[in-house]
């Protein structure tokens, strides 16, 4: 739409003319602001905050994050390897299940491994003990709990939904000795505030108090929107401090979104405009391939310079580049008709985009760039091409 865009941050303008499309652009000033908030929460609460790679794994900025956060948490062998190779610090793993082969590769690089079930713990604990005896490297082991207390409204994202496959319920622990376990883990939130954590923690303590006693650490999982402007961080600090005082244990938080929340945009170009009852702009990006949560969550991304239908004079439906009939981002209104060559800026597109995007239809993955507001410098750190698509196949 314009050659430069002023992002909602006291930073110089992002020069759209220099941005190849499609492209994710992470503002380093935004990122540092989030890290400052997280560092303050760590200092005041005594919790350790880990970067959850499932939400944000842009390793070109890991050096900045590692100055504030002590480590990362992973949900797979490959995420763990990335954390080990590119981040350093503490490396945690928590997954629904591990194969013998994956565990053998995780043990040499992980500091904590959390098991999702009693059967997984019993199956793999002997290998962890043997590894420690053989190498002197003792991996701390934990068990994931299911608090059986739901705060998440969207069932797709609720780990405590009925018949959930995630975590051990209280009834399963009757008569079980967890003495060998170092810690416990629960993750039951998604984009929620500290009030939801406080209610969840009360449920955890009520159900699992006998098993919390004597643990070296308890991991409160992710889903904490700590860097959202309206998040009650003072409450979070009180909740964490209170738990630590009651149980004398280390607390971990492992958000992914909170690190990247509000830090990035997706810049896309209009390729064509057609008309079928309404104007339809075909973009060089895709909801299903490049911002899948638009369809899965679902949610409506904000676009700089665009409004709700009827708010501005010109209504346009924004469509993606794939052949999926439902690859539609949504209906927006603009001050003028869109034309081929216009660039659109989708807000808050750093988390759960790069880590979830696909090459469906062979559509090119968006480039990845950083914007340094102090130096007023755009750096494209990665471009993707045919080999990235072909390399996934055989």
Q: Based on the fold, state whether residues 190 and 317 are members of the same structural domain.
A: no
Whether 144 is in a domain gets the answer: yes
User: Read out DSSP for 221-249?
Assistant: -S-B-TTSTT--HHHHHHHHHHHHHHH--
Contacts 24+ apart (CB under 8 A), 233-241: 233/37, 233/40, 233/41, 233/194, 235/193, 235/194, 235/195, 235/198, 236/41, 236/45, 236/194, 236/197, 237/41, 237/44, 237/45, 239/194, 239/197, 239/198, 239/201, 240/45, 240/46, 240/47, 241/45, 241/46
Positive/negative CA dihedral, 221, 227, 228, 233: positive
- Residue 1 banded pLDDT, cuts 50, 70, 90: very low
Name the domain count of the chain.
Answer: 2
pLDDT value at residue 217: 98
Residue 347, SS3 per DSSP? strand
pTM: 0.94
CATH number for 378: 2.40.37.10
Q: Based on the fold, state whether residues 59 and 160 are members of the same structural domain.
A: yes
Q: What are the tens digits of pLDDT across the range 299-319?
A: 899 999 999 999 999 999 999
Output 179 or 361, whichever has higher pLDDT. Answer: 361
**Does the pLDDT value for residue 229 go beyond 70?**
yes
Q: Based on the fold, state whether residues 183 and 294 are members of the same structural domain.
A: no
Tokens 């842009």 sit at which residue?
A: 58
| Arithmetic mean of pLDDT, 268-289 | 98
- Residue 13 banded pLDDT, cuts 50, 70, 90: confident
Give the whole-angstrom CA distance, residue 236 versus residue 242. Answer: 10
pLDDT value at residue 45: 98
Close Cβ partners of 93 (under 8 Å, ≥ 6 residues apart): 73, 74, 75, 80, 106, 110, 112, 113, 114
Last residue of a domain, one of 230, 260, 290: 260
- Residue 297 banded pLDDT, cuts 50, 70, 90: confident
Give the whole-angstrom CA distance, residue 180 versus residue 186. Answer: 18
Contact between 333 and 308 (Cβ < 8 Å): yes
Q: Based on the fold, state whether residues 181 and 65 are members of the same structural domain.
A: yes
Whether 62 is in a domain gets the answer: yes
Q: Based on the fold, state whether residues 206 and 112 are members of the same structural domain.
A: yes
pLDDT value at residue 4: 44
Whether 288 is in a domain gets the answer: yes
Q: Based on the fold, state whether residues 272 and 230 are members of the same structural domain.
A: no
Q: Based on the fold, state whether residues 133 and 251 are members of the same structural domain.
A: yes
Q: Based on the fold, state whether residues 64 and 169 are members of the same structural domain.
A: yes
Q: Based on the fold, state whether residues 76 and 152 are members of the same structural domain.
A: yes
Phi-psi region of 72 (alpha: psi -120 to 50; beta: other; left: phi over 0): beta
| Arithmetic mean of pLDDT, 105-125 | 98
| Arithmetic mean of pLDDT, 241-263 | 97
pLDDT value at residue 164: 97
**Does the pLDDT value for residue 7 go beyond 70?**
no
Phi-psi region of 356 (alpha: psi -120 to 50; beta: other; left: phi over 0): alpha
Alpha helices in 46-192 (DSSP H): 62-66, 77-82, 100-106, 118-135
Whether 345 is in a domain gets the answer: yes
Q: Which domain holds residue 291?
A: 4-22+264-349+364-390
Whether 256 is in a domain gets the answer: yes
pLDDT value at residue 298: 87
pLDDT value at residue 3: 44
Last residue of a domain, one of 229, 260, 291: 260
Please give the mean pLDDT across all residues of the chain.
Answer: 95
Q: Based on the fold, state whether residues 121 and 223 are members of the same structural domain.
A: yes
| Arithmetic mean of pLDDT, 233-237 | 98
Whether 175 is in a domain gets the answer: yes
Q: What are the tens digits of pLDDT across the range 371-389?
A: 999 999 999 999 999 999 9
35 sits in which H/E element: helix 28-45
- Residue 12 banded pLDDT, cuts 50, 70, 90: very low
User: Read out DSSP for 108-133?
Assistant: TT-SEEEESSHHHHHHHHHHHHHHHH
Q: Based on the fold, state whether residues 13 and 34 are members of the same structural domain.
A: no
Select from 223, 108, 251 the least CA-distant residue to 166: 223
Last residue of a domain, one of 214, 229, 260: 260
pLDDT value at residue 376: 94
**Does the pLDDT value for residue 2 go beyond 70?**
no
CATH number for 94: 3.20.20.10
Whether 311 is in a domain gets the answer: yes
Q: Based on the fold, state whether residues 53 and 181 are members of the same structural domain.
A: yes
**Does the pLDDT value for residue 258 go beyond 60?**
yes
| Arithmetic mean of pLDDT, 243-250 | 98
Contact between 251 and 47 (Cβ < 8 Å): yes
Select from 249, 269, 232, 171 the least CA-distant residue to 37: 232
pLDDT value at residue 6: 42
**Range in 102-106, 140-144, 296-300 the model is least confident about:** 296-300
Positive/negative CA dihedral, 71, 229, 205, 214: positive
**Does the pLDDT value for residue 335 go beyond 60?**
yes
Whether 358 is in a domain gets the answer: no
Q: What are the tens digits of pLDDT across the range 169-220?
A: 999 999 999 989 999 999 999 999 999 999 999 999 999 999 999 999 999 9
**Does the pLDDT value for residue 256 go beyond 60?**
yes
């Amino acid at each position: 739409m314009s050659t430069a865009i002023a992002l909602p941050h006291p930073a110089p303008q992002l020069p759209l003319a220099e941005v190849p499309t499609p492209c994710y652009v992470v503002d380093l000033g935004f990122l540092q602001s989030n890290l400052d908030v997280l560092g303050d929460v760590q200092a005041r609460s005594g919790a350790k905050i880990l970067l959850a790679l499932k939400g944000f794994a842009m390793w070109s900025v890991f050096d900045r994050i590692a100055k504030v956060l002590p480590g990362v948490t992973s949900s797979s062998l490959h995420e763990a390897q990335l954390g080990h190779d590119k981040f350093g610090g503490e490396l945690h793993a928590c997954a629904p299940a591990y194969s013998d082969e994956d565990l053998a590769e995780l043990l040499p690089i992980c500091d904590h491994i959390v098991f999702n079930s009693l059967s997984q713990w019993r199956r793999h604990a002997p290998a962890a003990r043997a590894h420690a005896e053989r190498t002197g490297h003792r991996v701390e082991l934990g068990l994931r709990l299911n608090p059986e207390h739901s705060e998440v409204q969207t069932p797709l994202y609720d780990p405590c939904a009925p018949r959930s496959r995630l975590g051990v319920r209280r009834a399963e622990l009757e008569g079980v000795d967890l003495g060998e376990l170092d810690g416990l883990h629960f993750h039951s939130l998604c984009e929620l505030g500290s009030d939801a954590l406080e209610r969840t923690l009360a449920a955890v303590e009520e159900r699992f108090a006998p098993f919390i006693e004597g643990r070296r650490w308890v991991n409160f999982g992710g889903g904490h929107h700590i860097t959202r402007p309206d998040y009650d961080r003072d409450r979070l600090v009180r909740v964490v401090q209170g738990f630590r005082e009651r149980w004398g244990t280390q607390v971990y938080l492992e958000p992914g979104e909170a690190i990247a929340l509000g830090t990035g945009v997706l810049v896309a170009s209009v390729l064509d405009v057609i008309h079928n009852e309404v104007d339809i702009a075909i973009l060089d990006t895709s909801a299903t391939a490049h911002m899948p949560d638009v369809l899965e969550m679902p949610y409506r991304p904000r676009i700089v310079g665009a409004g709700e239908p009827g708010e501005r004079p010109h209504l346009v439906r924004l469509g993606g580049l794939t052949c999926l009939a439902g690859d539609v981002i949504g209906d927006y209104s603009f001050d003028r008709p869109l034309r081929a060559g216009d660039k659109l800026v989708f807000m808050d597109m750093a988390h759960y985009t790069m880590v979830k995007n696909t090459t469906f239809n062979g559509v090119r993955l968006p480039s990845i760039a950083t914007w340094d507001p102090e130096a007023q410098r755009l750096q494209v750190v990665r471009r993707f091409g045919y080999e990235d698509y072909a390399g996934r196949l055989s």
